[in-house]
Amino acid sequence: MFLENSPFTTPSPGLRKTDLLIFGQKLEKIVLATVPTSKKAHIVAREDIASLKKGEPTPWRKGQLDKIFSQKLPIWLKPDKLLAPLDCVDSTDLAILVEGVDDVVIEKGSEEWLEETCSSVLRQFFSVRDHFLDPSTSLSNINALKSYLPGIVDQDDLHLLLVESLSTARSIKEAYRHTAETGRLLEEFNRFSFPLFHLGKSLFCFVVGRRDKDMIKSLCHALTNFARNGGLKRIHIGFSSVNRDRHQSLSSRRLAETLMDEAWKALHHASKRGPYSFCDFQLLMKPELFELKAVDRSTLGKLSYRWKDFSKFSLIHFKPDFIDRKLLDTHLTSLFKNELIVADEEGYFVIRRGKTAANSEKWASSLITKVTEAQGERYSLSAGISSYPFHEYTKPEIARNCKKALLHGSFLGPCSTVVFDSLSLNVSGDAYFSESDLSAAVREYRKGLELAPRDVNLLNSLGVTYALMNMTDRAFDAFIQVLDIEPDNFMALFNKGLGEKKFKKYEPAVKSFTRALSVFNNDDEDERASFGELLFQLGVCQFRVGNYRQCIKVLKKWYKAKKGEPGSERCLRYIGISYFHLEEFKDSAMWLQRALVTNQSDGEALSMLGTVYLKTGEGDDIALNLCRRSVEMEPDNGEYKIRYAHALAMSHRYDQAVEILTGCTRSRKFKISGWLEIARITMMKGDWHNCERTLQKIFSSRETNPHHLKKAEELQTSLAEKRLRSNSPKDGT
């Protein structure tokens, strides 16, 4: 019987860059209290140290900094400084610089004293930090966030992101495992080392400073995609940003609390948008800030009054490119003479009775030219044009279409004139998609396809949006439609492969990814952005179908391109396990060891590394410990149990091994493998009778496959040889 370790006894993690961000002030206080006479301490990067001696008579010697940072040697920098490189698990370029140390301390401080002092600083720091860690994830907890946030809310462009990925687990054990796995995935994603916290109940928090709002939205999109590809069934993000107008009267502590409250409300709204979605609190409170805001009721009422008797008309919405609309009023009066005009906050609607959209486009273009020639380019306008009747659109929807055409025109620059069409709907769909309003995005893309059923951009966009809504069948159908039109469409092939992978159709996924790779265009920005993920997913699918040599080749190429970046370690386990299956155990051990440095809770890697150590003679006790840990993490995994039993047998603990294997044989999936291992162990014990009896069970079972049959025949041959060598007709029982 296995007693799984509780989630409250997780080993203390090593030093991380985020620890220095969150607890940096505490570390500096410990340094000042420990290093005699020190006046100032701060964390510095290697490039800061490199420039420290610039212009001094004794500059850094060649290779001196490399040696200091590689060996983590604390050194004195005269006249009054101490430099102590930090051994971070995710950085080799950080150090503590202590200033103002008395020259007497420097002269009398031996190397041993210096090293012990630095070790003492780190021990004290870990003791303080560990009080603020959540044991199930090893991330900083809510108390750490409450202590950290008020001290940084005055930063420019500060954002707080709440991230939740609720578990569907039916047991507390599974729920904790889900929380730990989600935390590990977020750490893997956190390439910029933003402070990351676990607040409890699978609710996480990023604090991001000195980044603009567009970058935050890109981060949210990237995280939802990363989570989906990483196997999470749902992830929601709600974020709020410091706004000087909204928050100017709040104290630092009250501002921190307000940001948390706002992000919480946005998170609640995001959870209604689909399984992979986010929400910006500012847009939630002020929807008029959205670039496709609705036509206000007052303007729509005035328009309706003027066009109520018109059965055919075109509508133009003029919008100044650079200046306030009211500054243009006096200049446009004569040009708008005899036209039906309705002004709104942004510009002017012009109703042209009986005119087509094409006719109105020419007229609008001419008017814009006249304005800029008379008043200068500063007074330029752009125009969005639509007409009625047009398909199934109502008159109020025509006004909305003008705004969509204007948004479309914004990509063309000043003085643009655009007639509403399917591309306008693609642009408007992208606008909703960028705000994670996925239902609205689907509505726009589908309307666009009514106008242009074979538009591959619309179909691709629709498929991606369906995928984020977990409507995988619909997404897959959209990509198939694209490939019917353009068989070599890179994005459709890539996304089709992702869909096949999600359905666990790994062989078709390999074909889709391989084909996408063959048509990759390095000059296309979207394709370049997806290329890295394509390689990784191809490698994983090669692994799943047993093409281990190809898996290693593809993932090594991916790792070489990504090495050093956070997240690059996710390929290590696949390479290590592939080498294991190829029985190249030396290479397997090297890659599995690397994988376990970054993820100590990878049960499969632990189990396989333990088996590798048994095969290579690296130490039975170490192997046994690794296999035992894998079973403690996943007590129901029969494969891990069989490897653990093998490790027990190699340590001559036969009875315990057979007891575990007997439990495995009750499972249909692991019955034959369990019998094979029992036969192997009973033969090792010299119990030839029970070995033969177990082999006969394997030979007579309908569930025995050719691989198992071959192994059983090999064991039977070995058994016969042992009996022959014993020169005895009796069993060794």
pLDDT tens for 83-137 read 999 999 888 889 999 999 998 888 888 889 999 999 999 999 999 999 999 998 9
Question: What span, in angstroms and rounded, lies between the C-alpha atoms of 696 and 709?
Answer: 11
- pLDDT beyond 80 at 720: yes
pLDDT in tens, 527-555: 999 999 999 999 999 999 999 999 999 99
The reported pLDDT for the residue numbered 280 is 97
Mean pLDDT of 694-722: 93
Question: What span, in angstroms and rounded, lies between the C-alpha atoms of 70 and 64?
Answer: 10
Residue in 415, 424, 413 with CA at minimum distance from that of residue 386:
424
More confident residue, 12 or 554: 554
Q: Is 377 left (phi over 0), alpha (psi -120 to 50) or beta?
A: alpha
Q: Is 354 left (phi over 0), alpha (psi -120 to 50) or beta?
A: left
Q: What is the dihedral of CA 671, 675, 681, 686, to 10 degrees?
A: 160
The reported pLDDT for the residue numbered 693 is 95
DSSP 423-436: HHHHHHHHHHHHTT
Do domains 142-289 and 297-434 share one topology? The answer is yes
The reported pLDDT for the residue numbered 3 is 42
Q: Is 564 left (phi over 0), alpha (psi -120 to 50) or beta?
A: left
Show the tokens assigned to 337. 């003479």
CB within 8 A of 527, min separation 6: which ones?
Answer: 490, 491, 520, 521
- pLDDT beyond 90 at 166: no
Task: Give the start-end residues of each E strand in 253-322.
Answer: 276-280, 313-320
Helix extents (H) in 89-130: 103-108, 111-130
Show the tokens assigned to 240. 């709020």
The reported pLDDT for the residue numbered 156 is 80
- pLDDT beyond 60 at 4: no
The reported pLDDT for the residue numbered 48 is 84
Backbone phi, psi, residue 731, to 5° = -70, 155
The reported pLDDT for the residue numbered 58 is 60
Superfamily of domain 142-289: Reverse transcriptase/Diguanylate cyclase domain (3.30.70.270)
Model confidence band, residue 598 (pLDDT cutoffs 50, 70, 90): confident
Show the tokens assigned to 717. 């041959």
Question: What span, in angstroms and rounded, lies between the C-alpha atoms of 381 and 500?
Answer: 48
Where exactly are the structural domains of the chain?
17-130, 142-289, 297-434
Question: What span, in angstroms and rounded, lies between the C-alpha atoms of 106 and 38?
Answer: 11
pLDDT in tens, 629-682: 999 888 889 999 999 999 999 999 999 999 999 999 999 999 999 999 999 999
The reported pLDDT for the residue numbered 602 is 87
CB within 8 A of 635, min separation 6: which ones?
Answer: 2, 4
Average pLDDT for the chain: 92
Question: What span, in angstroms and rounded, lies between the C-alpha atoms of 72 and 223?
Answer: 34
Residue type (1 letter), 374? A
Mean pLDDT of 385-390: 98
Residue type (1 letter), 162? L
CATH 3.50.50.60 fits 297-434, yes or no: no
Model confidence band, residue 328 (pLDDT cutoffs 50, 70, 90): confident
The reported pLDDT for the residue numbered 246 is 81
Model confidence band, residue 597 (pLDDT cutoffs 50, 70, 90): confident
More confident residue, 598 or 460: 460
Question: What span, in angstroms and rounded, lies between the C-alpha atoms of 107 and 76?
Answer: 9
Calculate the CA 86 to chain-centre distance: 27
Residue in 88, 76, 81 with CA at minimum distance from that of residue 115:
76
The reported pLDDT for the residue numbered 145 is 98
Q: What is the dihedral of CA 612, 616, 618, 619, to 10 degrees?
A: 80
The reported pLDDT for the residue numbered 2 is 44
Q: In 3-state terms, what secondary structure has residue 316?
A: strand
The reported pLDDT for the residue numbered 732 is 47
Element (H, E) at 551: helix 548-562
The reported pLDDT for the residue numbered 62 is 65
More confident residue, 325 or 484: 484
The reported pLDDT for the residue numbered 573 is 95
Question: What span, in angstroms and rounded, lies between the C-alpha atoms of 258 and 263?
Answer: 9
Question: What span, in angstroms and rounded, lies between the C-alpha atoms of 507 and 541?
Answer: 7
Angle at 58 between CA 53 and CA 59, to 5 degrees: 45
More confident residue, 364 or 5: 364
pLDDT in tens, 419-430: 999 999 999 999
Decide: residue 307, CB within 10 A, 0-12 exposed, 13-18 middle, 19+ buried.
Answer: buried
CB 54 within 8 A of CB 39: no
More confident residue, 57 or 706: 706
Q: In 3-state terms, what secondary structure has residue 237?
A: strand
For residue 383, list its beta bridge partners.
318, 417
Mean pLDDT of 402-413: 97
Mean pLDDT of 346-358: 96
Question: What span, in angstroms and rounded, lies between the C-alpha atoms of 605 and 645?
Answer: 17
- pLDDT beyond 60 at 371: yes
Show the tokens assigned to 532. 């890295």
CATH 3.10.105 fits 17-130, yes or no: no
Q: What is the dihedral of CA 354, 356, 359, 361, to 10 degrees?
A: 120
More confident residue, 622 or 334: 622
Question: What span, in angstroms and rounded, lies between the C-alpha atoms of 440 and 423?
Answer: 16
Number of other residues whose CB lies within 10 A of the CB of residue 438: 22
Model confidence band, residue 728 (pLDDT cutoffs 50, 70, 90): low
